Structure 1
C-alpha cells in the first residue's frame, strides 16, 4: 500500500460523537450515515483524553459509555465498505482531576496554577504525556488496528506554559524566559513553531515505522503557533478549518469572511501543490452552542467553494445526523451525492491563474495584525489588505493563486504575469531579493500600503529592502477627508469621466522626488467638512500610484490601504482603478458576466477541458449569508477553445453561442451554485 490516495480530493465526513452517544449507537448506523452524504472517507473517534477502544494504558480514560471495541469494530466495517478512515487523536487536554495524579503533564500559568480549555486541564507539550504517553497510544492503536489509514491530531499546538521545564527549555533556546501572557517576541514564537514541527516530525517517523501507508494530518482551527511551511512538509494532508459559523469561536476567534474556504484551499495548494487539503466545515451554526444547525445557504456556500478549488471537505457533525436539530441534513446529503456523482470533475484541477497574491506570515505575526489570525478588527493590517485584494481580484473575475511568504522562489513567481504584495509590512532580505529577481526578469509587481517597513521579525528598517521600489514607506498620515485626483484618461474613462475619488485610511509618501509617470495624487485632506465649505481646491501633490521600470519588468506601489478599504467598505471606485492596472499588465479577465458581484466565479483547467463554478453569495444587506436569495437572468462569457458546456447538476448539455474567443452561456436561475464542465467534445458524467 502507498500514500498516493492522499493526493486525491476525497469526500470526508466526521461524526464528532458525544461520549454518551456510544451507549446507543450502532456501527452499521454510523456507516449508513457516512454513505448517505456521499462520503468515501471519514475521521473516527480514537484516543487521547477520551479513548474509544479498550486501551491498556492508564494515560487514557476509556469512554465510560463504550460497551465494546468501538474503534476496532468501526475500522473493520469501514474497510468492508471501502471507506478510508483517519483516527482522531486529541492530546491537547486531559480529563478533569488528572492534574492531581500527574501534575507534571499540564500547562502552568505564571502563578503556578493549571491552565484549562473548555474546563479541561491543558497538556504541556514538553511534558511526559507528549514525550512518552502519546507514542505509547499510537503504538497501541497501530499494532491493534493495521487497517487504520492514518491519524488526525485535533487542536494541535504548543501552548504557552510557565512550568520549570518549559522555562528552562525556552531560556536555553532563546536566552530569555517564557514571555508574559500579554507579550509576544519573535524568538519565543519561533521556538514554539520549531518545537511543534520537530515533534510532529518524530510522530510521523514513528507512524511510518509501524505502518508506512498510514497518513499524518495535524490540525488546529487557526494554526496557532504553526510555521505553516514546515508543518506542510511533515504533513501528508494539510488540515485547515473553513467553517464560517454564524457566531465564531469565543476562545480562539476565527476569521469570518466569504472567501475563507478559497483562502485555505489556495494556501494549501501553494504549500503542497500535488495534494488535496482537508478542510473542516462545521454543521453547527454557533461554535459555542454546537447543537444548533448551520443554515443551508452558509453550509453549501463553504463546501462548494472549497470543492471548486480542488480541496477535500469534511463536514463535522456534533453527534449523529439523526438529531433533534437536523435542519442541515437534507442539504448536506444532496450536496454529498452531487460530489459523489461528479467526482471526476473535481480531480486533477489545474489553476489557470496569471495573478498571484502573497500571504505574508511575517507581516501577520509581527506587523499591525500582531499575530491575530483574523487580523485587526479595523482590517488595517496585512490580513485585511490581503483579503481585500482577494475580494477585488475575485470580483473582477480573474482566477488567482496565493503564494506564501517567507520562502518565495523565482520559479514560483515566474509562473505569473502579476504578483501582488498587499501591505507586506514585514519583508525579509531573502524574499526581497527574490522579488527583485522576478521583476528584473520581466515580472510585474503591485504592492500596497507600508511595503517593507520592517524586516521579517518586525524590526523597523533603515533602508529599503527592494531595488525595484527603492524607498521606505516613511511615516503614515491620515487621508480621511482627502481625494485622489485621476490624472490619466484611462482612469477617468473607467470611472465615467469623474476627476477624483475619495481617499481614506493611512497614506504614505515613500519618494520625496515626484515622477511624471505617477498618478492618483492626494488633494487635501480637508479638515472642515461642514457642507458650506466642501470645495475641493488645489492640485494633487503626493502620488497614490507610483510606477517604476526595473530592467525588463515593472513595479507599482499604491501607498495606501486600497485592499483594507475595499474589504471593509466595498468601494467600487477602488475596484475599477485596479481593473485598469491589472488589465494593462495581465489582459482581460477570462470570465466576464452580467451577473451581480454576489455571484463568485471560479474557473479551473481540467484534463477534459475546464470547470466553471458560479456561486451565489447574495445575502440580506449587512448580514451574513444565512438564507438563499436566488438570482436570475444573466450571461457568462468564458475565454476558451472548448465547444460544449455540460451542467454537472443534471448532466445536460447547455446551449452556447460564441463571440470570437468567448463561449457565452445564459443562466436563467442561480440557486446555491451552478457547476459547468466545458469540453472540446460532448462528455457525460461518470461516477467515482
Structure 2
C-alpha cells in the first residue's frame, strides 16, 4: 500500500505545482482590460466611506479595478506598527470590507502606498529618516515631512508596512505613489535641492569610492553624473527587493508605479496644464510612448481629474476627459481615472456621465481593445517619459504635424533605443526632435538602422554633443547651435521637394536657428536670409542671403538622413503656422512617399486617426499571435479651441482609404453596431462613415 499512496501523493503534489504555474501564467492584469477608478481618500473620508456604496458605484460605472489608499503617509486600516502613523478617522475594518465586497463583484483591488512622507510624530522620533536640503531645510506639507530614500524608513520600514497589508488583506495589486528621490515640494512649486541626509552621504560614498555627495544639479559635472547613476542604482535596488518580497508572497499581486523596472503595470498620467498651448493629445502621447518603449508591460494612463494641486476639488472639462479616455483605449491602455475621495457627495460631478459612457463602451466592446500591433512606418523619438521645457515643445510640435496630417507613427523613449534595436531598425523613418543626447549604444543602433534602410530626420540641437555622429550620419558640423532666428527668413528653394508653397517665396522665422556647415551633405536646402532693417515701412528690407542653410540631406547607400537645425517643432507648437508644418510634411513626402498611403482621408485635421491591427482580446484567444483585422479609431477633437474644450462638432461623409494587405470579411462601427459598406482593391480598403460624433472605432475583420 505504501507505493500506491506515495504515487498518489506525488501526483497530487505535481498537480498542485502545475496549478500554481497556471496561476502564474494567467496573471490577471495581462489581459490588458483594466477599467480603473482611483479613489484618493483625504484622511477624514475614512470616517464616512461605505463599502456597499463604493462597490455599487464601481459596478454602475463598469469599473473592474479599484485603486484605494492603504498606507505609507498614514494607515487606512488598524495598523500594529508603531512607525506607521494611524489615520485617526479610520473606523473598524473598512478597507477589509471594501476589498471583500469588491471581490464579490469580481472587482480587483490595488492598494496605494506613498512612502515619500511621514507624519510629524514620526519625524520627531526619527529626524534622521527625513530629507534635509543643502541649506539645512526640511520639505514640509502641514504636518508631513519628506523622507530620505536611503534612510531606514524607506529601506526597512516600508517593506514591513507592505507586508502587514499583504498578510492581512487579500489585495490584487500594489501602487506606489511618488517613488524615488525628492528635491521639490510639488504641492507648493518650490525646489529645495539634492538631499543631504547622512544616510545618503554614506551610501553615495560607498557607491562612488569615497566621493562626497554633490550639492548642485549640473549635468556637465562628472560628480553629478555619478550621482545620477547612484540614484538609478538605489531606486532599482529598492524596487527589486520589493518585487522579490511581493512575488514571494503571491505572484498574482501586481506591482504598479511610474517606472519600468521590476513592475507589472506602468502608470502614467494625463494632467491639466497650467501653461498654453494646451495639449489635447496627452493620453495618446503618454500611452504610445510607454507601449512602444516597454512592450512587455501593461500600461495604465490615469486621467487626473483635478485642475491642480491647489484646486483639487475642481475637475477638468468633461470633453477633455472624454478625449483622454478614448485616446487611452485607442493606443493600447485600459481606462484609468483618479479622483479625490469616493463618488458620493463629490464636489464636481460634471465628468460622471463621461466616465459611465466610456467605461460602459469599453466593457461592451472589450474584445476589440488591449491587443494591438502597430502599422506605423515612422517612429518619433521622445525626450524621456515626462518631457519638459524646450525639448518637450519641439517634440510635441513634430507630433502635432503628423497627427493633423493623419500619418501614423509610434513613439519610443530616447533611453530605450538601445534596448529595442530590432524594433527601431524596422521603421522606415525615425524622427529625432531635439534629442540632444543618446547613449553610445543607441547611436550605434541609429547607424545600423541607417545602413539597413531607415531614413532619419533630426531637428534643432539633436546630437549636438556628438559631433562625429552629426558628421557621419548627416554630413553636418556645428558653427553656432544657439542663434536667435527672430527676423530671419527661410527660402523654400527646391520646388521639387517643397511642393506646398505656391505663392510664397519666404518663410518667417523665430526661436532657434542653428548655423551649421554641411561638408558631408549631398544637398543643402532652405537658404537663410539675414535679418532685415527694423523700422517703418519706408525703410524695411535688406533680407540678403547669408550663405547658410537651414536644412541638409545626406544620401546613404540605402537611406537618406535629413537635418534641420532649427526649432521646427516648437514654432508650430507655439504658433501653428501651416508653412512650418509643410516643411516637415514635404520632406517626409520626399524621402518616404508611401507614408501618406497608410490612411487617406478627407477628415479634418482635428480628427485624430489611430490605426492598429488587433487580435481579439478573449480568454479563449489568449495564445493567438496573428491579427484578426484592423481597427481605425476616430477621436473628434473639433471641440478643442486651443484653450477651451467644447462639445465636438458632428462630422458627416468622412471618406477613408486604409492600406490593408488583406481584404476585410466585414466592416462595422463599434459606436452604432452597424455594417459599413466598403470596397477593397490593390491593398486599399475604401469606406465612408456617414456621421462621426465624439468617437468611433471602425472594425475591419479579416477572413
TM-score range, shorter chain: 0.7 to 0.9
Aligned partner of 1:367 in structure 2 is none
In structure 2, C-alpha distance between the alignment counterparts of 1:499 and 1:661, rounded to whole Å: 39
The 1:475–1:37 alpha-carbon spacing in structure 2 relative to 1, beyond 3 Å, is same
Mapped pair 1:242 → 2:270:
yes
The residue correspondences of 1:264-413 to structure 2 (distance < 5 A) are 264-322=286-344, 323-361=346-384, 373=386, 375-376=388-389, 381-409=390-418, 410-413=421-424
Q: Does 1:148 align with 2:171?
A: yes
Mapping of residues 549-628 of structure 1, within 5 Å = 549-586=555-592, 587=594, 588-606=596-614, 607-619=627-639, 621-625=641-645, 627-628=646-647
Once residues 411 and 537 of structure 1 are traced to their aligned partners in structure 2, the CA distance between those partners, rounded to angstroms, is 47
Q: 1:527 to 1:207 in 2, by over 3 A?
A: farther
Alpha-carbon distance in 1 for matches of 2:538, 2:132 = 62
- Asked if residue 204 in structure 1 is aligned to residue 217 in structure 2, the reply is no
Per-residue CA deviation, residues 191-231 of structure 1 (Å, 9 max, x unaligned), is 22221111111111111111122121123xxxxxxxxxxx4
Q: Map Cα deviations across residues 247-305 of structure 1 (whole Å, 9 max, x no partner).
A: 58xxxxx9952222122212211232143301121222344221123311011111111
Aligned pair in 2 of structure 1 residues 434, 530: CA closer, same or farther (>3 Å)?
farther
Which of residues 150, 153, 157 is equivalent to 2:180?
157
Matching of residues 389-538 of structure 1 within 5 Å:
389-409=398-418, 410-454=421-465, 463-464=468-469, 467-476=472-481, 477-511=483-517, 513=519, 517-528=523-534, 530-535=536-541, 538=544
Q: Which has the higher helix share?
A: 2
| Counterparts of 2:467 and 2:429, CA distance in 1 | 28
Aligned-pair distance for 1:667?
4.3
User: For residue 38 of structure 2, what is the aligned residue in structure 1?
Assistant: 14
Residue matched to 2:214: 179
CA–CA distance in 2 between the matches of 1:658 and 1:534? 57
| Corresponding position of 2:187 | none
Distance in 1, matches of 2:382 and 2:471, equals 18
Distance of 2:198 and 2:121 partners within structure 1:
21
Q: In structure 1, list runs of 5 or more residues that go unmatched.
A: 220-230, 249-253, 365-372, 455-460, 682-688
Q: 1:566 to 1:634 in 2, by over 3 A?
A: farther
The 1-side partners of 2:168 and 2:520 are apart by 72
CA distance in 1, matches of 2:151, 2:589: 56
**Secondary structure of the corresponding residue to residue 675 of structure 2:** strand
Checking the alignment, whether the CA contact within 8 Å between 1:432 and 1:465 is kept in structure 2 is: no
Conserved 8 A contact 1:583-1:589: no
For structure 2, the residue ranges without an aligned partner over 5 or more in a row are: 1-22, 183-193, 615-626
Contact 2:69–2:112 (CA<8 Å) still a contact in 1? Answer: yes
Distance 2:679 2:540 in 1: 51
CA pair 142-327 structure 1, distance change in 2 beyond 3 A: same
Contact 2:119 2:143 in 1 (8 A): no
1:87 alignment partner in structure 2: 111
Q: Which residue of 2 aligns with 1:223?
A: none
Contact 2:378 2:429 in 1 (8 A): yes
- CA distance in 1: counterparts of 2:546 and 2:212, whole angstroms: 52
The answer as to whether partners of 1:633 and 1:666 remain within 8 angstroms in 2 is no
- Please say if residues 285 and 295 of structure 1, whose CA atoms lie closer than 8 Å, have aligned partners that are also in contact: no
Distance 1:473 1:262, change over 3 A: farther
Q: Deviations over 1:345-386 (max 9, x none)?
A: 11211111110011234xx9xxxxxxxx5522xxxx322211
Instruction: Answer whether contact 1:108 1:115 (CA < 8 A) is retained.
Output: yes
1:314-333, Cα deviation, whole Å (9 max, x unpaired): 21121122224212111211
Q: In structure 1, the residue corresponding to 2:238 is in which secondary structure?
A: helix
Q: Does the CA contact (< 8 Å) of 2:334 and 2:370 recur in 1?
A: no
Q: Is the 8 A contact 1:451 1:472 kept in 2?
A: no
What residue in structure 2 maps to residue 685 of structure 1?
Answer: none
Q: Equivalents in 2 of 1:123, 1:589: separation in Å? A: 54
* From 228, 232, 245, the counterpart of 1:189: 228
How far is the alpha carbon of 1:424 from its aligned partner? 1.6
Separation (CA, whole Å) in 1 of partners of 2:126 and 2:508: 62
SS class of match (1:602)? strand
Measured on the aligned residues, the alpha-carbon RMSD in Å equals 2.5
1:370 equivalent in structure 2: none
The answer on whether the counterparts of 2:323 and 2:637 sit within 8 Å (CA) in structure 1 is yes
Cα offset, 1:165, TM superposition: 2.0
Query: How many pairs are equivalent?
Result: 642
Compute the displacement of 1:675 (Å).
Answer: 2.2
